[in-house]
Homo-oligomer: A and B are copies of this chain.
Amino acid sequence: MAKAITLLESTRADHRAQADALLTALLPHAGRSFRLGISGVPGVGKSTFIEALGLHLIGQGHRVAVLTIDPSSTVSGGSILGDKTRMEKLSVNERAYIRPSPSSGTLGGVAEKTREAMLVCEAAGYDVVIVETVGVGQSETAVAGMTDMFVLMQLPNAGDDLQAIKKGVMELADLVVINKADLDADAATRAQAQITSALRLFGLHGHPSHAHHDETIWHPQVIQLSALHGVGVDAFWLAVTQFRQLQTGNGRLDARRQHQALAWMWERIDAGLKQAFRQDPRVRELLPLLTAEVSQGRMAASTAARNLLEVQAQRT
């Protein structure tokens, strides 16, 4: 399995053709897991929670894979996540597989490798795949875009001290977990109420008006737990199971995966088109000049775009 993932992660052109053949061969055996995305700021307790959850699931007979998208690796090639020693018990369990983030590349590239690694894990029989990230907005969008359910972890600080949630992240959440609820029960309860209210205000708690009472539609929930003491992990998995049953029953699970696959195809196409554009010799020659003209307000952005598209199209 590690070999397959390493092949998929290779950037050599001849490996890419083999990797595509491998993917096509794997696909009929993939897709049978539940894909769970988990995000939260450093210190929220992601490792502790994932270890507790993983061991709980293994106890129930599941096989659990943990993949990681570490946005810091896409910048520095370093890694703040994905260190196996963070999950000591889980990493030595034979029914668990933990793979750190690909160690470099653009976020799009790292996300692609992680999507492909997920398929390998599924084909190898892991029936719960957890994809973890630490947030910079874009990495959370990438994780939500490849999982069946996206979970946002929060700390129970209350009132004005409640840590701000990054722009655009709350709208991705199917479930919000307030971890370390044992530290301050009152604060956790206030945070739960505040986030529930904000979810409703921002139209994220289900859909407007009538849909509020439609029991076939999932409304994002906010739950408390204490991963360190193993309190609430079973309630968490119960919520996940309810979500999964609901989304399977109303067809949204399949629709979400289909939508994700097509969105991903177009994202890679867009990235490829843009890369080819930027590498075109005529574009490379003209781009710095037009960028400066537009920045300094001497040329309209739309005029510059048309000029650049024309020079690229003129290639013979």
- Hey, which chain B residues are within 8 Å of A202, CB to CB? 164-165, 167, 170, 198, 202
Q: How many chain A residues have a CB neighbour from B under 8 Å?
A: 65
Mask, A200-216, CB within 8 Å of B = 1, is 11111100100000000
A265 at the interface (CB under 8 A from B): yes
Which of A23-31, A71-79, A96-104 faces chain B?
A: A23-31
CB of A134 to closest CB in B, whole Å: 15
Assess the B297–A261 pair: CB atoms within 8 A. Answer: yes
Assess the A27–B298 pair: CB atoms within 8 A. Answer: yes
CB proximity to B under 8 Å, residues A227-276: 257-258, 261-262, 264-266, 268-270, 272-274, 276
CB of A164 to closest CB in B, whole Å: 3
Contact of A262 among B197, B257, B258, B295 (CB under 8 A): B295
- Hey, which chain B residues are within 8 Å of A7, CB to CB? none
Between A198, A257, A276, the greatest number of chain B beta carbons within 10 A of the residue's beta carbon is seen for A198
Question: Copies per complex?
Answer: 2
- Hey, which chain B residues are within 8 Å of A112, CB to CB? 302
| Known interface pairs A198-B197, A208-B163, A269-B277; A301-B203 also in contact (CB < 8 Å) | no
Assess the A194–B204 pair: CB atoms within 8 A. Answer: no
Assess the A167–B197 pair: CB atoms within 8 A. Answer: no
User: What is the bound-complex CA distance between A116 and B305, given in angstroms?
Assistant: 14
Assess the A303–B20 pair: CB atoms within 8 A. Answer: yes
A300 at the interface (CB under 8 A from B): yes
| Known interface pairs A27-B297, A203-B166; A305-B272 also in contact (CB < 8 Å) | yes
| Known interface pairs A116-B302, A264-B301, A272-B305; A201-B195 also in contact (CB < 8 Å) | yes
Contact of A306 among B16, B167, B170, B273 (CB under 8 A): B16
| Known interface pairs A167-B202, A194-B197; A269-B16 also in contact (CB < 8 Å) | no
Assess the A258–B295 pair: CB atoms within 8 A. Answer: yes
A304 at the interface (CB under 8 A from B): yes
User: What is the bound-complex CA distance between A163 and B170, given in angstroms?
Assistant: 18
Contact of A168 among B115, B171, B257, B306 (CB under 8 A): B171
- Hey, which chain B residues are within 8 Å of A290, CB to CB? 265
Contact of A198 among B201, B266, B291, B306 (CB under 8 A): B201
Smallest CB-CB A-B distances: 10 pairs:
A164-B203, A268-B305, A265-B301, A264-B301, A273-B273, A272-B309, A23-B300, A198-B198, A167-B171, A20-B303
> Could you name 6 residue pairs across A and B whose Cβ atoms are closer than 8 Å?
A24-B299, A27-B298, A115-B301, A162-B201, A165-B201, A261-B297
